[in-house]
Amino acid sequence: MKIKLIAVDLDGTLLTSRKKVSEKTLEALKKARKNGIYVVPLSGRPLPGVLKVFEPFDFAPDDNYAICYNGGLIQQLDGQVIYANPLSHENVQHMIALKRKGIFGPYFMDTKDFYVAPGASAFGVSFIAKARNMGVKKMEPGKKYEFIKGEFVSLPSKMKKFRASLSPETEKEFNISASGGQCLEFNTPDVSKGAALTQLLDLLNIPANEAMVFGDNNNDLSDFELPGVFKVAMGNAIPEIKERADYVTVSNNQDGIAQAIEKFVDL
């Protein structure tokens, strides 16, 4: 199969359950890039967090791309912004009004830093920000910011109840996606991984039928609905992803990405 771009989700897809990239998967993707195929992380994470994961790949920063914040931001690996779709000031205020007891946040992110909203619990923030390779700042009341994404965090059982409590107006105002059971991520309604991947393919003049995407979870659904793109679900993926896949590979702990590349991609 002729492929010019491979897009990979990170958690549950590229990364094992130990949050590592396996040697076999690393070598398969490095070989693909060496053969002229773009390897694009497709993540809810910010670029600093993506770069932390992609450090072993040693890709040139000015000719490689990352889709971050669930599609709210496309950047070159050197940080240059190709596309951004930030939350409005009204979106941010709406999220602040959603604060609940037992739910941590809202937290907001721009291209570099992790912000704690006024009145939001800072519990665990330094750990979350460190994992994403970001600095932590407190929002200043009344100041307008250009955030790309906001989120709430808690135990999966509490997040399930929190999601169920959101009004139809809130659901309409945001594109809300789950990253695992413990986090709800809020973007503008027209932001999705699928929309951003389509934009990047257009930018690089790559037809959809020469792109391959790997995913496992709820926030991968939009790219698994793109016509033409070859969709590979991980063995550990949720049923909704597997139903939309062209192929179901083995799990993220069994080199699922490498297995599918070896099976389908002409290298």
242: Cβ contacts below 8 Å, ≥ 6 apart: 233, 248
Question: If phi over 0 gives left and psi between -120 and 50 gives alpha, with beta otherwise, what is residue 57?
Answer: alpha
Give me the pLDDT at residue 180, please.
72
Give me the pLDDT at residue 259, please.
98
154: Cβ contacts below 8 Å, ≥ 6 apart: 102, 103, 104, 162, 182
Give me the pLDDT at residue 164, please.
96
pLDDT tens digits for range 19-78: 999 999 999 999 999 999 999 999 999 999 999 999 999 999 999 999 999 999 999 999
pLDDT band at residue 135 under the 50/70/90 scheme: confident
CA dihedral 58, 61, 62, 64 (to 10 degrees): 70
Q: What is the mean pLDDT of residues 154-181?
A: 92
The conformation of residue 96, written as its DSSP 8-state character, comes to H
Do strands 113-116 and 135-138 pair parallel, antiparallel, or not at all (unpaired)? parallel
Give me the pLDDT at residue 3, please.
98
pLDDT over threshold 90, residue 160: yes
- Residue with more model confidence, 128 or 146: 146
pLDDT tens digits for range 209-218: 999 999 999 8
pLDDT over threshold 90, residue 157: yes
Rounded Cα distance between 94 and 97, Å, is 5
Give me the pLDDT at residue 144, please.
87
Rounded Cα distance between 27 and 46, Å, is 24
Return the percentage of the chain with pLDDT > 70, whole number: 99
pLDDT band at residue 178 under the 50/70/90 scheme: confident
Backbone phi, psi, residue 205, to 5°? 55, 45
Which residues, in sequence order, are bridge partners of residue 248? 233
Give me the pLDDT at residue 128, please.
77
Q: Domains of the chain by range and CATH?
A: 5-84+191-264 (3.40.50.1000), 89-187 (3.30.1240.10)
Q: Is the peptide bond before 168 cis (omega within 30 degrees of 0)?
A: no
Q: What is the mean pLDDT of residues 113-117?
A: 91
pLDDT tens digits for range 229-264: 999 999 999 999 999 999 999 999 999 999 999 999
Buried b (16+ CB within 10 A) or exposed e, 141-156: eeeebebbbbbbbbee
Rounded Cα distance between 200 and 39, Å, is 12
Rounded Cα distance between 89 and 63, Å, is 33
Structure tokens given for 9: 């989700």
Structure tokens given for 153: 């965090």
